[in-house]
Amino acid sequence: MTGTRSPKFEDVKITVNEVRLQLGQHLARLWRYGMVLSRNRDVAEDLVQSTCVRALERCSQFQSGTRIDRWLFAILYSIWINEIRALRVRQGQGFVDSDELSQLADSESTEDKHQYHALLLQVSELPEAQRNTVFLVYVEGFTYQEAADTLAIPIGTVMSRLAAARLTLAKHLMPTMKKELK
């Protein structure tokens, strides 16, 4: 990740044990991000495992004073781009249905479940770059700049991808919602 560090953090190093503690707190989020990227449970698990190993091996690269979750997401994304994505293309691994990505609470109405399922389905059909950006910003709560840093793209590209994703979702979801209102 790019960025400048404050001089007061130059000599502060994070230990392997500190990284290990932090990893435990972010495993579920990392797995969810792995699912968004890969759409495959086994690949998501491999991504998280590789992220954990790389974070432990390279804990000295963590910049004190920054958020470790952003660092972990950047590692996972880097692994996805460099290794897993090529493997998935070569092996033709399958798609995970959006029902498997999230379970709705039993207390939600059938209409809410239907709308939620429709939204998940539309999001899962977005191009990978848009789907990934939507996840980081709207699900994980990354700022545009944090998403740009994680994906190693300009902030303008993040804004463009989000705008395109919102437009696509609006076009596809409006006819569905109009039918339900009748």
CATH code: domain of residue 141: 1.10.10.10
Average pLDDT of the chain is 78
How many structural domains are present in the chain? Answer: 2
Cα–Cα distance list, 134 to 57, 139, 151, 166 (Å): 30, 7, 12, 9
Instruction: Express each pLDDT in 135-175 by its tens digit.
Output: 899 888 899 999 999 999 999 999 999 999 999 888 877 66
Task: Give the residue from 65, 96, 127 where a domain finishes.
Answer: 96
pLDDT of the residue at 2: 47
CB atoms within 10 A of CB 171: 10
pLDDT of the residue at 12: 59
On whether both 182 and 146 belong to a single domain, the answer is yes
- The model's confidence at residue 73, banded by pLDDT at 50, 70 and 90, is very high
pLDDT of the residue at 103: 43
- The model's confidence at residue 89, banded by pLDDT at 50, 70 and 90, is low
On whether both 83 and 15 belong to a single domain, the answer is yes
Task: Give the residue from 96, 121, 147 where a domain finishes.
Answer: 96
The model's pTM: 0.61
On whether both 22 and 55 belong to a single domain, the answer is yes
On whether both 58 and 19 belong to a single domain, the answer is yes
Q: Strand ranges (DSSP E) for the chain?
A: none
Instruction: Look up the domain containing 71 and give its range.
Output: 1-96
Q: Distance (Å, rounded) from C-alpha 40 to C-alpha 26? A: 19
pLDDT of the residue at 5: 45
pLDDT of the residue at 9: 43
Task: Give the residue from 47, 70, 96 where a domain finishes.
Answer: 96
Q: Distance (Å, rounded) from C-alpha 55 to C-alpha 70? A: 12
On whether both 92 and 45 belong to a single domain, the answer is yes
On whether both 69 and 138 belong to a single domain, the answer is no
On whether both 74 and 147 belong to a single domain, the answer is no
CATH code for the domain of 19: 1.10.1740.10
SS3 of residue 140 by DSSP: coil
On whether both 143 and 54 belong to a single domain, the answer is no
| Residue 52 φ/ψ, nearest 5 degrees | -60, -45
pLDDT of the residue at 39: 85
Residue that the structure tokens 């660092």 belong to: 71
On whether both 46 and 90 belong to a single domain, the answer is yes
